[in-house]
Amino acid sequence: MLNFELVNPVKILFGKGEITKIKKLVPKQANVLLLYGKGSIKKNGVYDQVTQALSGHNTIEFGGIPANPEYAILLEALAIIKKENISFILAVGGGSVIDGAKFLSSAALFEGENPWDILAKRIRTDKGMPFGTVLTLPATGSEMNSGSVISRKETGEKLAMGGPGLFPQFSVLDPTVVASIPNRQLANGITDAYTHVLEQYMTYPIGADLQDRFAESIMNSLIETAPKLMDNPSDYTIAANFMWCCTMALNGLIQKGVPTDWAIHAMGHELTALHGIDHARTLAIIAPRHYAYFLDNKKEKLAQYGERVWNITEGSLEERAKKAIDKTEYFFQSLDIPTRISEYATDYSETAEKVRSALENRGWTALGEHKNVTPDAVKAIVEASY
């Protein structure tokens, strides 16, 4: 097991009716920016619950944060934060809104001239403006971690930021919100969370038995929950388990003491930038090809995963590893998620080369747990994903 540090101060309020508690959690004297997305919260009742809970607070709204939270729009929100002397941000939405709030939290206290530097120069945020979240779309885990990914259309960039100052003060997880989420987004949420686990697990054995078992637990639970959730997202018990799995998949716990990969995400981000493919779907496209390409490095862990998650017990190590990759791809497909680039885009013959050069231009010459996901490997993996 590798040495690690773990600290996660986020206060989670989980369950039906918990939204009312934000009344006490948001500081009384704060000027609050209520940040949300494209307006689904006005249809599913969450907006009403939140504004009612905040009725005694001085609140200003900013809606319209899109999927892949866009820098240009966030700058508009930042201007309001400064003009209106905002001191607390409440993000109500999915991972994009929460990631947007994290950027704003950092940018609001940033002393440099250009807030994009936080992303471009990878400036760690040690202190941000306090913020809380009300999660409406389980998927990214952003509600219980200190990371964020921001997109910038102007330059085609999608960059990550983070730091200990970017943990939410609190996050409210009310599973009743799941009932109104369209199936496409449920499928994306399952795929996103599942791939988060894979990125932290599918490397090489290092004797971290409990972390492995926790990761396998999340995957087993998502596999068991997925078809029931797609059939009946109104089932509270199913929705609650789905929601908790997504949070636990990326709150930092299962990555402690183990090597991690994250090359799938790096490649996936480029596919979103190039073709506008939903983030989760890019992961479903890349993951099977990435594991096939690095079969030699990952076959022990793939076989362990095959046995403990998919009950694959027969065949050689390599055969079991390959079967495990197939099972993973079928799982994504069972959620109506196509796993080939050609199913999303028509003009993709240059995509592999574009992803290769984009990653090379960012100076990321080698990703993955062995730092061997070179630009050439990236090109081969993306090409195999056509």
Q: Which residues bind its own copies (CB under 8 A)?
A: 1-18, 175, 207-211, 213-214, 216-218, 220-221, 224-225, 236-238, 240-241, 244-245, 248, 256-257
Choice between 27 and 338, CB closer to its own copies:
27
Choice between 126 and 318, CB closer to its own copies:
126
Give the shortest CB-13-to-its own copies separation in angstroms. 5
Q: Do 175 and 137 form a contact (C-beta atoms < 8 A)? A: no
Q: Do 72 and 154 form a contact (C-beta atoms < 8 A)? A: yes
3-state secondary structure (DSSP) of residue 127: coil
> What is the rounded CA–CA span in Å between residue 188 and residue 151?
19
Q: Which of 118, 104, 15, 21 is nearest to 60 (CA)?
A: 104
Give the shortest CB-5-to-its own copies separation in angstroms. 5
Report CA Rg, the chain.
20
Give the shortest CB-43-to-its own copies separation in angstroms. 24
Determine the residue type at 119: L
Q: Do 256 and 326 form a contact (C-beta atoms < 8 A)? A: no
Choice between 153 and 228, CB closer to its own copies:
228
> What is the rounded CA–CA span in Å between residue 103 and residue 118?
9
Give the shortest CB-253-to-its own copies separation in angstroms. 8
Give the shortest CB-37-to-its own copies separation in angstroms. 25
Which residues are CB-neighbours of 16 under 8 A, at least 6 positions away? 174, 175, 176, 236
Give the shortest CB-175-to-its own copies separation in angstroms. 8
- To which residue do tokens 């990326």 refer? 250
Q: Do 91 and 134 form a contact (C-beta atoms < 8 A)? A: yes
Choice between 37 and 168, CB closer to its own copies:
168
Choice between 193 and 273, CB closer to its own copies:
193
Structure tokens at 131: 């913020």
Q: Which of 384, 379, 383, 372 is nearest to 355 (CA)?
A: 379
Give the shortest CB-98-to-its own copies separation in angstroms. 17
> What is the rounded CA–CA span in Å between residue 202 and residue 294?
11
Choice between 6 and 83, CB closer to its own copies:
6
Give the shortest CB-244-to-its own copies separation in angstroms. 5
Paired strand residues for 29? none
> What is the rounded CA–CA span in Å between residue 113 and residue 104?
15
3-state secondary structure (DSSP) of residue 121: coil
Choice between 236 and 262, CB closer to its own copies:
236
62-78 burial string, b = 16+ CB within 10 Å, else e? bbebebbbbbebbeebb
Give the shortest CB-369-to-its own copies separation in angstroms. 18
Paired strand residues for 171? 12, 133
Give the shortest CB-238-to-its own copies separation in angstroms. 8
| Count of CB atoms situated within 10 Å of the CB of 139 | 28
Choice between 20 and 58, CB closer to its own copies:
20
Choice between 184 and 308, CB closer to its own copies:
308
CA geometry: angle 374, 123, 111, nearest 5 deg: 155
Choice between 144 and 149, CB closer to its own copies:
144
